[in-house]
């Protein structure tokens, strides 16, 4: 299924932490429904305005025409997104990318592991897994304090988190929170160093591991080859062939 | 309603906007985003004979009103293109243009042979890519090497041959004349402008190759000047490009004498830019009583 491009209405925007926002928009295109791990290119400024490129943001949640994006305000583009309020409109191109193949994971014991804003696509993932009758365990790492964590309680088995600062949760790394050997499959998204450590732990236990990568993107649909990841199977577009890859292919 | 069709090298283009190589995949990526039949054609991602993985490190960097790229001609190779991507391009309802690059002249010639035997409608010879170490832009800098490469490819090319030129040419008019004399059917310009960015935190260049290609509205007035010069230098059609983002931008190139235009980086800011720009051109023409592009092509020069 390929991406479409349309103007969408903002339903709400919440501040979850000083630099974390939850943006909800209306997505009514039933023929192009997003699923876990996919993303959209977001733009709420003119084609002739800065920044030049739209911003790729993963699907945090989607249900009944309500599409949510959890994102970190980090630069010019996300600062503009952060100013959106209910009733505003923005341009979305998507859904883009391969996403997680939830149907293919039936019957597997799954750990979902996130780091910081990398937890954004994992909520929809856990929801889809739970809906398919396969509640995963969820482990998350944050720098200081957790955010957007409570909703995971409803769709996961075990939920645990760590922080770098030790202000809450386990003081240490997210990889301290689980034994890879307890699972058949580990699904991860977060900083590259975290995903590499998760992948290493999974590989040591002989457990399959999929990771969702992040790259700067221009087109978001496989046309410009700006987000290429050089994998063991040749160059792949993170936007089109990914963002979800077998960890063994990319690390 | 203005007639937006353009005659180019024996073909009637549906419209004056061709999607520029490297910014539009091979076209099908955009099939659900815009009506490809409105386009004059799609110039596919630059091909090399055997394909290549492209450059390592950063590939994209935003600038004011533009973008720098260092893709490095990542492509599946000419044979893969003919087998897999070209049949999809032929379903688009618009012209399929193969953009051909290469590291050696032998690669260019074999690529031209293979593409000549395929269903592509035209070949755009890329002697202007700034992001590869060999071939690429090196051939397009001097008139003698540009003319020589064009003449050799011409002898192997049975399709209409467009030669895409570099803004880094030492003497643009001389390159245009040399390429025309060597048998090019048309010229397209400009490719991206060689540019540089430095990462302050790393205290290193952003791109592994240090220099990368700048495109987008930032370069448009310079590209327009070069298209003006090219139109004055040759009598074959000139396809204008460089930072076109609106219908008015495109009409400037037409009034400078361009046969038609290509749109590249604008597709990143607006994936439907090629269609929108066509519609904006049409609206301006309707408002101003202009029925065909022939009526205004080159009018600014008179």
Contact A222 B25 (CB under 8 A): yes
Question: Higher pLDDT residue, B215 or A3?
Answer: B215
| The Cα angle at residue A228 between residues B101 and A192, in degrees rounded to 5 | 155
Provide the domain count of chain A: 2
Residues A192 and A124 reside in one and the same domain: yes
* Domain housing A82: 4-96
Nearest chain A CA: its distance from B270 CA (Å): 6
Residues A87 and A107 reside in one and the same domain: no
Residues A135 and A179 reside in one and the same domain: yes
Question: What is the model's pTM?
Answer: 0.95
Please name the member of A2, A226, A235 whose beta carbon is closest to the beta carbon of B31: A2
Q: What is the CATH number of the domain that holds A190?
A: 3.40.50.80
Last residue of a domain, one of A50, A75, A96: A96
Residues A87 and A106 reside in one and the same domain: no
Question: Higher pLDDT residue, A107 or B97?
Answer: B97
Last residue of a domain, one of A47, A76, A96: A96
Residue B208 has pLDDT above 80, yes or no: yes
Give a yes or no: residue A245 inside a domain: no
Residue A221, number of CB atoms within 10 A of its CB: 25
Give a yes or no: residue A139 inside a domain: yes
Give a yes or no: residue A232 inside a domain: no
Q: What is the CATH number of the domain that holds A41?
A: 2.40.30.10
- By annotation, the residues of B acting in catalysis are 129
Give a yes or no: residue A223 inside a domain: no
Give the residue from B268, B270, B272 with the most A CB atoms within 10 Å of its CB, the best one to mutate.
B268
Residues A108 and A151 reside in one and the same domain: yes
Residues A140 and A87 reside in one and the same domain: no
In whole angstroms, give the CA distance from residue B153 to residue B218: 33
Residues A118 and A197 reside in one and the same domain: yes
Residues A88 and A109 reside in one and the same domain: no
Residues A70 and A111 reside in one and the same domain: no
The domains found in chain B, sorted by start residue, are 6-301 (3.20.20.70)
Give a yes or no: residue A242 inside a domain: no
211-230 of B, contacting A, C-beta below 8 A: 216-217
Q: Which residues contact A67 (CB under 8 A, 6 or more apart)?
A: A8, A24, A25, A26, A27, A34, A40, A59, A61
Give a yes or no: residue A20 inside a domain: yes
Sequential DSSP letters for A124-176: HHHHHHHHTT-PPEEEEEESSS--S-HHHHHH-SSEEEEESS-SSSEES-GGG
- Asked if this assembly's ipTM is beyond 0.95, the reply is no
Residue A22, number of CB atoms within 10 A of its CB: 18
Residues A69 and A116 reside in one and the same domain: no
Residues A118 and A207 reside in one and the same domain: yes
Mean pLDDT by 10 residues, chain A (251 residues): 90 97 96 96 96 98 97 97 98 97 90 98 97 96 96 96 96 97 97 97 97 97 96 96 97 93
Assigned token pair, A74: 């980090």
Q: What is the pLDDT of residues B49-90, one digit of tens each?
A: 999 999 999 999 999 999 999 999 999 999 999 999 999 999
Residues A50 and A131 reside in one and the same domain: no
Give a yes or no: residue A220 inside a domain: no
Q: What is the pLDDT of residues B223-261, one digit of tens each?
A: 999 999 999 999 999 999 999 999 999 999 999 999 999
Q: What is the pLDDT of residues B126-143, one digit of tens each?
A: 997 766 666 666 889 999
């Amino acid at each position: 299924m390929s991406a479409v491009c349309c103007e969408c209405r903002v339903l709400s925007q919440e501040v979850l932490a000083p630099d974390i926002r939850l943006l909800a928009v209306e997505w009514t295109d039933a023929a192009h429904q997003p699923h876990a791990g996919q993303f959209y290119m977001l733009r709420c400024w003119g084609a002739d305005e800065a920044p030049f490129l739209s911003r790729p943001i993963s699907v945090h949640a989607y249900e009944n025409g309500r599409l949510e994006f959890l994102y970190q305000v980090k630069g010019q583009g996300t600062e503009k997104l952060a100013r959106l309020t209910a009733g505003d409109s923005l341009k979305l191109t998507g859904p883009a990318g391969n996403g997680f193949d939830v149907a293919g994971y039936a019957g597997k014991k799954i750990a979902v592991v996130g780091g910081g804003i990398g937890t954004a696509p994992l909520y929809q993932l856990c929801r889809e897994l739970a809906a398919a009758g396969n509640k995963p365990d969820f482990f998350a790492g944050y720098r200081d304090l957790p955010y957007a964590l409570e909703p995971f309680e409803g769709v996961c088995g075990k939920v645990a988190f760590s922080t770098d600062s030790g202000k809450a949760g386990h003081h240490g790394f997210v990889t301290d929170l689980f034994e890879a050997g307890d699972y058949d499959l580990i699904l991860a998204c977060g900083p590259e160093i975290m995903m590499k450590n998760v992948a290493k732990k999974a590989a040591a236990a002989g457990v399959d591991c999929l990771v969702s990568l992040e790259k700067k993107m221009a087109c978001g649909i496989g046309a410009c080859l700006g987000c290429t990841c050089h994998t063991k199977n040749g160059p792949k577009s993170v936007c089109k062939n990914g963002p979800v890859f077998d960890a063994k292919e990319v690390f | 309603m203005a007639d937006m069709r353009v005659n180019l090298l024996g073909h009637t283009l549906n419209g004056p906007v061709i999607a520029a190589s490297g910014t539009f995949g091979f076209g099908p990526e955009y099939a659900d985003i815009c009506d490809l039949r409105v386009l004059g054609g799609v110039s596919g991602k630059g091909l090399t004979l055997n394909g290549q993985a492209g450059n390592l490190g950063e590939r994209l960097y935003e600038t004011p009103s533009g973008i720098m790229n260092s893709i490095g001609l990542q492509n599946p190779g000419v044979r893969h293109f003919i087998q897999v991507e070209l049949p999809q391009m032929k379903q688009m309802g618009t012209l399929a243009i193969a953009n051909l690059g290469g590291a050696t002249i032998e690669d260019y010639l074999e690529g031209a042979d293979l593409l000549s035997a395929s269903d592509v409608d035209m070949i755009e010879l890329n002697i202007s890519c700034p992001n590869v170490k060999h071939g690429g832009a090196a051939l397009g800098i001097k008139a003698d090497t540009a003319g020589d490469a064009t003449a050799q490819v011409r002898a192997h090319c049975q399709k209409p041959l467009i030669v895409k030129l570099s803004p880094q040419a030492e003497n643009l008019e001389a390159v245009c004349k040399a390429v025309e004399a060597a048998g090019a059917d048309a010229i397209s310009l400009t490719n991206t402008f060689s540019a540089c960015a430095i990462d302050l935190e790393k205290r290193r260049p952003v791109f592994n190759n240090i220099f990368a290609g700048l495109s987008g509205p930032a370069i448009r007035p310079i590209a327009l000047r070069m298209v003006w010069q090219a139109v004055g230098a040759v009598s074959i059609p000139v396809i204008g490009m460089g930072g076109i983002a609106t219908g008015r931008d495109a009409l400037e190139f037409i009034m400078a004498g361009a046969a038609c235009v290509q749109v590249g980086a604008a597709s990143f800011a607006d994936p439907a830019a090629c269609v929108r720009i066509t519609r904006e051109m049409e609206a301006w023409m309707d408002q101003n009583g202009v029925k065909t592009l022939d009526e205004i092509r080159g009018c600014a020069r008179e």
